[in-house]
């Protein structure tokens, strides 16, 4: 919100969350601040936010459908440049007097775009180029004053513009990487057409966030539940940069973190950052809590409830704390639906509801990452000096290793899993690092997104030396994904799998067999419980 006041900003009218999110990310990649706003925002409200440019996102609906997302046509009269993609082009056409119809076949995937005449948006991109299409409807007649500036075989109006009124639109998706000149088109719009400056940089962001946190907190004290995860670690580093020792971190160690993690948290926050840190050793408390529990949901429930109990007990011991910082990030807000109702007030309310504050307990929330995407949070972490091992950490579930141990969690099983998991991580960290070195892309096609060991509740027979063994198997799970909603098992080279298997069996006591999970999500989930 405040970023919007401090920087020139691009409003993305969101006609379907996943489309809008991607556009806002692409704009921010170009160092221009961007935020999603509900598509039906009234023109005067949007004008009051003072956007330097407006982008209309795509969306899954048909513009003529009864409940199709709508927009206020007065937005086109604000004198602010507008760019529409896909549904955004269609609604622009309809609102300004053009029309939309069905194309014969629909068009999905890569398409060859041919340019026609001068275009400010396409500018110096090639005469013929590949773009990404995904539509059945398309603009049939452009509104008065618009010219058609590109077509494909299937779609006569693949791009249209009215340079005089600074209105531009494409049927294809420039925000998708498969549109080979999509970035250049966005650059044309932001920098040449709208005259924006790429000023939204990490240094500027840190400076602004530090000022905001100081203004909110004054000389109050802030408590933060540190989990060792990316978001809470970055919040800790940022809030500490702003208010120093007024921040107290509480690290609840439930004993089900991965090998080396509690030590890393201590080393970084006590050693390097010198943050006041309360390390709560709750390992035994959790061990007792989970004794005899085998049901996955019951494990999750007990671990989650206990976490807040321990945390608030500590907060009470510390005393005199008015604020609680947490690592809420932008997708949490968008996905919780808070955005749809608009405004900060509703956002905070929905988060209050998520935190089970006990009776009589209240903290004001400090959520400095609530408008950042995950990769921006990581960039911020690096800029604040957090180690890469923490910042580029793979996702790890709150209930920790408990939901990777099938059946009852016992100290023996936890010990085995921690050791086996450390081997999987070491080998696949190295595999990912080699791919990164080769491609320069952390999310290159074959890199593993999440990888870990799972311990099933069985034993099997093996032979080691001349001895029969009856020990536990370890399951290796490694997936490619971008958002955890869907995932595929990673097609790891056999030699990598062989090394993992060989190392686990020889280095981890109590294991005589290693298997690889070759199930995508769906139908499986990434975790086993
Ligand atoms: P599944 O197993 O549902 O997991 O495919 C999807 C992603 O979510 C992570 N996950 C969790 N993260 N608390 C979390 O913070 C949880 O209780 C939890 N359960 C699953 C999982 O690791 C994967 O990245």
Ligand 1 contact, 331 CB (< 6 A): no
DSSP character string of 456-508: -S--EEEEETTEEEEEEEEEEEEEE-SSSSSBEE----HHHHHHHHHHHHHHS
Average pLDDT rounded to a whole number, residues 240-258: 97
**Residue 421 parent element (H or E):** helix 411-439
In testing the pocket of ligand 1, which one of 300, 484, 489, 524 has its CB within 8 Å of the most ligand atoms?
484
Which of 16-30, 473-487, 515-529 is predicted least confidently? 16-30
pLDDT at 345 over 60: no
Ligand 1 contact, 486 CB (< 6 A): no
| 399 Cα: distance to centroid of ligand 1 (angstroms) | 9
| 329 Cα: distance to centroid of ligand 1 (angstroms) | 16
Closest atom of ligand 1 relative to the 403 alpha carbon: 19
Average pLDDT rounded to a whole number, residues 261-282: 95
pLDDT at 192 over 90: yes
**173 counts as catalytic:** yes
Give the per-residue pLDDT at 340.
Answer: 41
Give CA–CA dist 164/503, Å, rounded: 67
Average pLDDT rounded to a whole number, residues 266-273: 94
Give the per-residue pLDDT at 1.
Answer: 59
Give the per-residue pLDDT at 17.
Answer: 63
Give the phi and the psi of residue 36 in degrees, each rounded to 5: -80, 140
Q: Which domains does the chain have, with CATH numbers?
A: 2-193 (3.40.50.880), 213-391 (3.40.50.620), 404-516 (3.30.300.10)
Catalytic residue among 35, 39, 86, 249: 86
Give CA–CA dist 338/164, Å, rounded: 37
Ligand 1 contact, 395 CB (< 6 A): yes
Ligand 1 contact, 520 CB (< 6 A): no
Ligand 1 contact, 484 CB (< 6 A): yes
* Closest residue by CA, ligand 1 atom 7: 484
pLDDT digits (tens, 9 = 90+) for 130-170: 999 999 899 999 999 999 999 999 999 999 999 999 999 99
Closest atom of ligand 1 relative to the 394 alpha carbon: 24
Exposure b/e, 230-252, CB count within 10 A at least 16 = b = bbbbbbbbbbbbbbeebbbbbbb
Give the per-residue pLDDT at 355.
Answer: 64
Q: Which tokens go with 297?
A: 């949901």
Catalytic residue among 175, 376, 419, 480: 175
Give CA–CA dist 53/129, Å, rounded: 26
3-state DSSP call for residue 141? strand
Contacts 24+ apart (CB under 8 A), 305-314: 305/356, 306/254, 306/282, 307/225, 307/252, 307/254, 307/398, 308/355, 308/356, 308/358, 310/252, 310/280, 310/282, 310/285, 311/225, 311/250, 311/252, 312/357, 312/358, 312/361, 314/250, 314/252, 314/278, 314/280
Using pLDDT thresholds of 50, 70 and 90, give the confidence band for residue 348. Answer: very low
Using pLDDT thresholds of 50, 70 and 90, give the confidence band for residue 441. Answer: confident
pLDDT at 352 over 70: no
Which of 263-272, 276-285, 304-313, 340-349 is predicted least confidently? 340-349
Judge contact between 217 and 366, C-beta under 8 A. yes
Closest atom of ligand 1 relative to the 450 alpha carbon: 24
| 246 Cα: distance to centroid of ligand 1 (angstroms) | 32
More confident residue, 337 or 181: 181
Ligand 1 contact, 433 CB (< 6 A): no
Give the per-residue pLDDT at 230.
Answer: 95
Closest atom of ligand 1 relative to the 396 alpha carbon: 22
DSSP character string of 71-107: --GGGGGSS--EEEETHHHHHHHHHTT-EEEEEEEEE
Which of 269-283, 349-363, 469-483 is predicted least confidently? 349-363
DSSP character string of 142-198: PPTT-EEEEE-SS-S-SEEEEGGGTEEEESS-TTSTTSTTHHHHHHIIIIIIS----
Average pLDDT rounded to a whole number, residues 45-55: 97
pLDDT at 353 over 80: no
For the chain, the average pLDDT equals 92
| 331 Cα: distance to centroid of ligand 1 (angstroms) | 15
Ligand 1 contact, 527 CB (< 6 A): yes
In testing the pocket of ligand 1, which one of 231, 527, 528, 529 has its CB within 8 Å of the most ligand atoms?
527
Give the per-residue pLDDT at 140.
Answer: 96
Q: Which tokens go with 459?
A: 């034993």
Please name the residue that has the structure tokens 């971190």.
249
pLDDT at 350 over 50: no
| 364 Cα: distance to centroid of ligand 1 (angstroms) | 27
pLDDT at 342 over 50: no
Give the per-residue pLDDT at 4.
Answer: 77
pLDDT digits (tens, 9 = 90+) for 384-439: 999 998 999 999 999 999 999 999 999 999 999 999 999 999 999 999 999 999 98
Ligand 1 contact, 227 CB (< 6 A): no
Give the per-residue pLDDT at 105.
Answer: 78
pLDDT at 346 over 80: no
More confident residue, 334 or 328: 328
**175 counts as catalytic:** yes
Closest atom of ligand 1 relative to the 528 alpha carbon: 2
Enter the pTM of the model.
Answer: 0.86
Average pLDDT rounded to a whole number, residues 509-523: 97
| 451 Cα: distance to centroid of ligand 1 (angstroms) | 12
Give CA–CA dist 166/158, Å, rounded: 18
Ligand 1 contact, 397 CB (< 6 A): yes
* Closest residue by CA, ligand 1 atom 4: 526
Which of 33-47, 96-110, 411-425 is predicted least confidently? 96-110
| 457 Cα: distance to centroid of ligand 1 (angstroms) | 21
pLDDT digits (tens, 9 = 90+) for 286-319: 999 999 999 999 999 999 999 989 999 999 999 9
pLDDT digits (tens, 9 = 90+) for 445-487: 889 999 999 999 999 999 998 899 999 999 999 999 988 888 9
Catalytic residue among 7, 161, 162, 173: 173
């Amino acid at each position: 919100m405040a970023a919007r006041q401090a920087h020139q900003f691009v409003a993305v009218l969101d006609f379907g969350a996943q489309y809008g999110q991607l556009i806002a990310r692409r704009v921010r990649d170009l160092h221009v601040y961007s935020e999603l706003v509900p598509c039906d925002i009234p023109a005067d409200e949007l004008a009051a936010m003072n956007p330097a440019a407006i982008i209309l996102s795509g969306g899954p609906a048909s513009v003529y459908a009864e409940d199709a997302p709508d927009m206020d046509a007065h937005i086109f009269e604000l004198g602010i440049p507008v760019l529409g993609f896909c549904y955004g082009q269609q609604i622009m056409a309809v609102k300004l007097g053009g029309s939309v119809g069905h194309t014969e076949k629909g068009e999905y995937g890569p398409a060859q775009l041919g340019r026609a005449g001068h275009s400010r948006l396409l500018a110096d991109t090639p005469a013929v180029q590949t773009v990404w299409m995904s539509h059945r409807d398309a603009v049939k007649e452009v509104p008065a004053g618009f010219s058609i500036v590109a077509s494909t075989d299937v779609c006569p109006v693949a791009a249209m513009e009215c340079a005089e009124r600074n209105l531009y639109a494409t049927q294809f998706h420039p925000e998708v990487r498969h549109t080979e000149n999509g970035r250049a088109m966005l650059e044309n719009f932001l920098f040449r057409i709208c005259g924006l400056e790429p000023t939204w940089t990490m240094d500027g962001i840190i400076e602004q966030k530090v000022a905001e946190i100081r203004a909110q907190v004054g000389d109050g004290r802030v408590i933060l539940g540190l989990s060792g995860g990316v978001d809470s670690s970055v919040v800790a580093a940022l809030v500490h940069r702003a208010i120093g020792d007024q921040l107290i971190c509480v690290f609840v160690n439930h004993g089900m973190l991965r090998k080396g993690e509690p030590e890393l948290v201590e080393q970084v926050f006590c050693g390097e950052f010198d943050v006041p840190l309360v390390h709560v050793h709750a390992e035994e408390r959790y061990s007792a809590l989970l004794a005899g529990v085998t049901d996955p949901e019951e494990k999750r429930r007990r671990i989650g409830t206990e976490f807040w109990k321990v945390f608030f007990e500590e907060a009470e011991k510390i005393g005199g704390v008015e604020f609680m910082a947490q690592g809420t990030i932008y997708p949490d807000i968008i996905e919780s639906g808070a955005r749809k109702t608009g405004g900060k007030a509703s956002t905070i309310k929905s988060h209050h509801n998520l935190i089970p504050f006990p009776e009589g307990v209240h903290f004001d929330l400090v959520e400095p990452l609530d408008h950042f995407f995950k990769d921006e949070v990581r960039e911020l972490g690096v800029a604040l000096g957090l180690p890469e091992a923490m910042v580029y950490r793979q996702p790890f579930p709150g209930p920790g290793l408990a939901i990777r141990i099938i059946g009852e969690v016992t100290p023996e099983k936890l010990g085995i899993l921690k050791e086996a998991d450390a081997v999987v991580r070491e080998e696949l960290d190295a595999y990912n690092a080699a791919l990164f070195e080769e491609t320069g892309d952390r999310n290159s096609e074959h890199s593993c997104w999440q990888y870990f060991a799972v311990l099933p509740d069985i034993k099997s027979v093996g032979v080691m030396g001349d001895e029969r063994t009856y020990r536990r198997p370890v399951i290796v799970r490694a997936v490619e994904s971008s958002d955890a909603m869907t995932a595929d098992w990673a097609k790891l080279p056999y030699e990598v799998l062989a090394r993992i298997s060989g190392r686990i069996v020889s280095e981890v006591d109590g294991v005589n067999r290693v298997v690889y999970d070759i199930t995508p999500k769906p139908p499986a989930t990434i975790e086993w419980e």
